[in-house]
Structure 1
Amino acid sequence: MDDIRFPVEAYHYTGEKIFLNKDWYIVRNYRQFVNQIIQNGLPEMISFDHDLADMNSSDSDNLKFTEKTGYDCAKWLVEYCMDNHLNLPKFYSHSMNPVGKENILSLLENFKKVNKDSYNKFR
Protein backbone atom coordinates (compact mmCIF):
# COMPACT_ATOMS: atom_id res chain seq x y z
CA MET A 1 0.00 0.00 0.00
CA ASP A 2 1.37 3.33 -1.04
CA ASP A 3 -0.31 6.53 -2.16
CA ILE A 4 2.17 7.38 -4.93
CA ARG A 5 4.92 4.80 -5.40
CA PHE A 6 4.97 1.50 -7.26
CA PRO A 7 6.69 -1.59 -5.79
CA VAL A 8 9.76 -1.33 -8.02
CA GLU A 9 10.36 2.16 -6.60
CA ALA A 10 10.39 0.71 -3.08
CA TYR A 11 13.04 -1.76 -4.25
CA HIS A 12 15.33 1.10 -5.24
CA TYR A 13 15.62 2.44 -1.69
CA THR A 14 15.05 -0.72 0.38
CA GLY A 15 16.99 -3.21 -1.72
CA GLU A 16 14.32 -5.81 -0.88
CA LYS A 17 13.87 -8.12 -3.86
CA ILE A 18 10.26 -8.83 -2.89
CA PHE A 19 9.40 -5.53 -4.55
CA LEU A 20 10.52 -6.88 -7.93
CA ASN A 21 7.67 -9.42 -7.84
CA LYS A 22 5.06 -8.55 -10.47
CA ASP A 23 2.10 -9.89 -8.46
CA TRP A 24 1.56 -6.85 -6.21
CA TYR A 25 -1.93 -5.42 -5.94
CA ILE A 26 -1.57 -1.72 -5.11
CA VAL A 27 -3.96 0.16 -2.84
CA ARG A 28 -3.56 3.89 -2.44
CA ASN A 29 -5.57 4.75 0.68
CA TYR A 30 -7.34 3.41 3.76
CA ARG A 31 -10.67 2.86 2.03
CA GLN A 32 -9.09 0.83 -0.78
CA PHE A 33 -7.10 -1.18 1.77
CA VAL A 34 -10.19 -2.13 3.77
CA ASN A 35 -12.29 -2.88 0.68
CA GLN A 36 -9.59 -5.03 -0.90
CA ILE A 37 -9.35 -7.26 2.19
CA ILE A 38 -13.09 -7.45 2.79
CA GLN A 39 -13.75 -8.40 -0.84
CA ASN A 40 -10.77 -10.70 -1.44
CA GLY A 41 -9.57 -11.87 1.97
CA LEU A 42 -6.11 -11.49 3.42
CA PRO A 43 -3.25 -11.38 0.94
CA GLU A 44 -0.10 -13.43 1.40
CA MET A 45 1.85 -10.26 2.24
CA ILE A 46 1.30 -6.55 2.84
CA SER A 47 3.92 -3.82 2.62
CA PHE A 48 2.90 -0.64 4.38
CA ASP A 49 3.70 2.97 3.62
CA HIS A 50 2.88 5.28 6.52
CA ASP A 51 2.19 8.67 4.95
CA LEU A 52 -0.71 7.97 2.63
CA ALA A 53 -2.35 11.36 2.67
CA ASP A 54 -1.71 14.69 1.13
CA MET A 55 -1.23 17.38 3.72
CA ASN A 56 -3.27 20.53 3.42
CA SER A 57 -2.59 23.88 5.00
CA SER A 58 -1.87 27.42 4.02
CA ASP A 59 0.52 27.64 6.97
CA SER A 60 3.54 25.33 6.55
CA ASP A 61 3.95 25.14 10.35
CA ASN A 62 0.44 23.78 10.81
CA LEU A 63 0.17 20.78 8.45
CA LYS A 64 -2.83 18.49 8.81
CA PHE A 65 -3.41 15.02 7.38
CA THR A 66 -6.62 14.76 5.41
CA GLU A 67 -6.70 10.95 5.22
CA LYS A 68 -5.85 8.01 7.41
CA THR A 69 -2.29 6.70 7.45
CA GLY A 70 -0.70 3.31 7.01
CA TYR A 71 -0.77 3.01 10.79
CA ASP A 72 -4.57 3.31 10.68
CA CYS A 73 -4.59 0.51 8.10
CA ALA A 74 -2.43 -1.65 10.37
CA LYS A 75 -4.79 -1.01 13.31
CA TRP A 76 -7.77 -1.99 11.16
CA LEU A 77 -5.93 -5.14 10.03
CA VAL A 78 -5.27 -6.18 13.65
CA GLU A 79 -8.95 -5.69 14.54
CA TYR A 80 -10.04 -7.58 11.41
CA CYS A 81 -7.75 -10.51 12.28
CA MET A 82 -8.96 -10.53 15.91
CA ASP A 83 -12.63 -10.41 14.91
CA ASN A 84 -12.20 -13.20 12.35
CA HIS A 85 -9.72 -15.34 14.34
CA LEU A 86 -7.07 -14.99 11.63
CA ASN A 87 -3.31 -14.79 11.72
CA LEU A 88 -1.66 -11.76 10.19
CA PRO A 89 -0.27 -12.13 6.70
CA LYS A 90 3.45 -11.55 6.23
CA PHE A 91 4.18 -7.84 6.52
CA TYR A 92 6.83 -5.25 5.83
CA SER A 93 7.00 -1.48 5.91
CA HIS A 94 8.75 0.38 3.13
CA SER A 95 7.84 3.79 4.56
CA MET A 96 10.46 6.52 4.47
CA ASN A 97 8.94 7.94 7.67
CA PRO A 98 11.08 6.25 10.36
CA VAL A 99 8.67 6.94 13.25
CA GLY A 100 5.61 5.88 11.27
CA LYS A 101 7.42 2.74 10.06
CA GLU A 102 8.42 1.79 13.60
CA ASN A 103 4.87 2.37 14.86
CA ILE A 104 3.39 0.09 12.18
CA LEU A 105 5.92 -2.68 12.71
CA SER A 106 5.68 -2.50 16.52
CA LEU A 107 1.89 -2.75 16.42
CA LEU A 108 1.95 -5.74 14.06
CA GLU A 109 4.81 -7.53 15.84
CA ASN A 110 3.09 -7.08 19.21
CA PHE A 111 -0.19 -8.45 17.86
CA LYS A 112 1.63 -11.36 16.25
CA LYS A 113 3.32 -12.19 19.55
CA VAL A 114 0.12 -11.91 21.61
CA ASN A 115 -1.85 -13.86 19.02
CA LYS A 116 0.80 -16.60 18.96
CA ASP A 117 0.90 -16.77 22.77
CA SER A 118 -2.91 -17.03 22.90
CA TYR A 119 -2.96 -19.70 20.21
CA ASN A 120 -0.31 -21.78 21.99
CA LYS A 121 -2.07 -21.34 25.34
CA PHE A 122 -5.27 -23.01 24.10
CA ARG A 123 -3.66 -25.86 22.10
Structure 2
Amino acid sequence: MKKLFLDDLRTVDMVYSKFMVSEFDVVRSYHEFVTFIIKNGLPEFISFDNDLGLNENGELAPDGLAAAKWLVYKSGLDLSSLEFHVHSANPVAAEQIRGLLNNYINFLNKNNNNHNK
Protein backbone atom coordinates (compact mmCIF):
# COMPACT_ATOMS: atom_id res chain seq x y z
CA MET A 1 0.00 0.00 0.00
CA LYS A 2 1.47 3.33 -1.06
CA LYS A 3 1.18 6.03 1.61
CA LEU A 4 2.12 9.69 1.37
CA PHE A 5 2.91 12.03 4.27
CA LEU A 6 2.65 15.78 3.59
CA ASP A 7 4.28 17.88 6.31
CA ASP A 8 6.98 20.54 6.31
CA LEU A 9 8.36 19.74 9.77
CA ARG A 10 6.98 16.59 11.39
CA THR A 11 8.33 13.14 10.79
CA VAL A 12 6.07 10.15 10.30
CA ASP A 13 6.89 8.76 13.75
CA MET A 14 5.64 12.01 15.36
CA VAL A 15 2.14 11.23 14.05
CA TYR A 16 2.07 7.45 13.60
CA SER A 17 3.85 4.49 15.13
CA LYS A 18 7.60 4.33 14.60
CA PHE A 19 6.93 0.94 13.01
CA MET A 20 4.99 2.64 10.18
CA VAL A 21 7.80 4.98 9.09
CA SER A 22 8.91 2.75 6.22
CA GLU A 23 5.34 2.61 4.83
CA PHE A 24 5.33 6.32 3.92
CA ASP A 25 6.92 8.49 1.30
CA VAL A 26 7.42 11.97 2.76
CA VAL A 27 6.91 15.24 0.89
CA ARG A 28 7.61 18.60 2.49
CA SER A 29 5.78 21.07 0.24
CA TYR A 30 2.81 21.52 -2.07
CA HIS A 31 5.13 21.35 -5.08
CA GLU A 32 6.75 18.10 -3.87
CA PHE A 33 3.23 16.71 -3.29
CA VAL A 34 2.06 17.50 -6.82
CA THR A 35 5.32 16.30 -8.40
CA PHE A 36 5.26 13.05 -6.41
CA ILE A 37 1.69 12.20 -7.47
CA ILE A 38 2.27 13.12 -11.12
CA LYS A 39 5.36 10.89 -11.17
CA ASN A 40 4.14 7.98 -9.01
CA GLY A 41 0.34 8.05 -9.27
CA LEU A 42 -2.21 8.44 -6.52
CA PRO A 43 -1.22 6.72 -3.28
CA GLU A 44 -3.84 4.67 -1.46
CA PHE A 45 -3.48 6.82 1.69
CA ILE A 46 -2.44 10.44 2.25
CA SER A 47 -1.76 12.12 5.58
CA PHE A 48 -2.16 15.91 5.36
CA ASP A 49 -0.64 18.75 7.30
CA ASN A 50 -2.02 22.15 6.37
CA ASP A 51 0.47 24.86 7.30
CA LEU A 52 3.56 24.19 5.21
CA GLY A 53 5.77 27.08 6.24
CA LEU A 54 7.31 29.66 3.97
CA ASN A 55 8.41 29.41 0.36
CA GLU A 56 11.84 30.41 -0.97
CA ASN A 57 10.69 34.09 -1.09
CA GLY A 58 9.76 34.12 2.60
CA GLU A 59 6.02 34.13 1.81
CA LEU A 60 3.45 31.63 3.03
CA ALA A 61 3.80 28.50 0.93
CA PRO A 62 0.79 26.80 -0.67
CA ASP A 63 -0.76 24.69 2.08
CA GLY A 64 -2.36 21.29 2.57
CA LEU A 65 -5.75 22.67 1.55
CA ALA A 66 -4.18 23.79 -1.74
CA ALA A 67 -2.88 20.23 -2.17
CA ALA A 68 -6.35 18.79 -1.53
CA LYS A 69 -7.86 21.30 -3.98
CA TRP A 70 -5.28 20.28 -6.58
CA LEU A 71 -6.33 16.65 -6.14
CA VAL A 72 -10.02 17.48 -6.55
CA TYR A 73 -9.98 20.19 -9.21
CA LYS A 74 -6.81 19.75 -11.26
CA SER A 75 -5.31 16.27 -10.94
CA GLY A 76 -7.89 14.42 -13.03
CA LEU A 77 -7.39 11.37 -10.81
CA ASP A 78 -10.13 9.07 -9.57
CA LEU A 79 -10.23 9.72 -5.83
CA SER A 80 -13.18 7.42 -5.12
CA SER A 81 -11.08 4.93 -3.14
CA LEU A 82 -8.64 7.40 -1.57
CA GLU A 83 -8.14 7.04 2.16
CA PHE A 84 -6.74 10.02 4.04
CA HIS A 85 -6.10 11.51 7.45
CA VAL A 86 -5.54 15.14 8.38
CA HIS A 87 -2.93 15.51 11.11
CA SER A 88 -2.74 19.32 10.97
CA ALA A 89 -2.80 21.24 14.25
CA ASN A 90 -4.83 23.96 12.49
CA PRO A 91 -8.44 22.97 13.32
CA VAL A 92 -10.14 25.22 10.78
CA ALA A 93 -7.94 24.17 7.88
CA ALA A 94 -8.10 20.52 8.97
CA GLU A 95 -11.89 20.63 8.78
CA GLN A 96 -11.73 22.33 5.36
CA ILE A 97 -9.47 19.58 4.00
CA ARG A 98 -11.65 16.83 5.49
CA GLY A 99 -14.83 18.47 4.22
CA LEU A 100 -13.53 18.98 0.69
CA LEU A 101 -12.18 15.46 0.31
CA ASN A 102 -15.07 13.68 2.05
CA ASN A 103 -17.68 15.57 0.04
CA TYR A 104 -15.90 14.93 -3.25
CA ILE A 105 -15.27 11.24 -2.53
CA ASN A 106 -18.92 10.81 -1.47
CA PHE A 107 -20.03 12.57 -4.67
CA LEU A 108 -17.87 10.28 -6.81
CA ASN A 109 -19.06 7.14 -5.05
CA LYS A 110 -22.72 8.21 -5.25
CA ASN A 111 -22.36 8.85 -8.99
CA ASN A 112 -20.50 5.56 -9.48
CA ASN A 113 -23.29 3.69 -7.68
CA ASN A 114 -25.96 5.41 -9.78
CA HIS A 115 -24.15 4.46 -13.01
CA ASN A 116 -23.95 0.83 -11.89
CA LYS A 117 -27.70 0.48 -11.36
Same fold (TM over 0.5): yes
Amino acid at match of 1:67: A
Displaced runs of 4 or more, over 4 A: none
Alignment match, 2:10: 5
Corresponding position: 1:72 with 2:77: no
Distance in 1 (CA, whole Å) between partners of 2:81 and 2:62 is 20
State the identity %.
Answer: 38
Distance in 2 (CA, whole Å) between partners of 1:113 and 1:100 is 20
Secondary structure of the corresponding residue to residue 25 of structure 1: strand
The structure having more radius of gyration, on CA atoms, is: 1
Structure 1 gap ranges (5+)? 12-16, 56-63
Secondary structure of the corresponding residue to residue 87 of structure 1: coil
Q: CA RMSD in A?
A: 2.0
Structure 2 gap ranges (5+)? 1-5
Amino acid at match of 1:105: R
TM-score, scaled relative to structure 2: 0.82
- For each residue in 1:50-103, what CA deviation from the matched residue of structure 2 results, as whole angstroms up to 9, or x when unmatched? 101239xxxxxxxx952101000001111256x244525210000011111100
Alignment match, 2:27: 27
Alignment match, 1:105: 98
Equivalenced residues, count: 108
Corresponding position: 1:45 with 2:45: yes
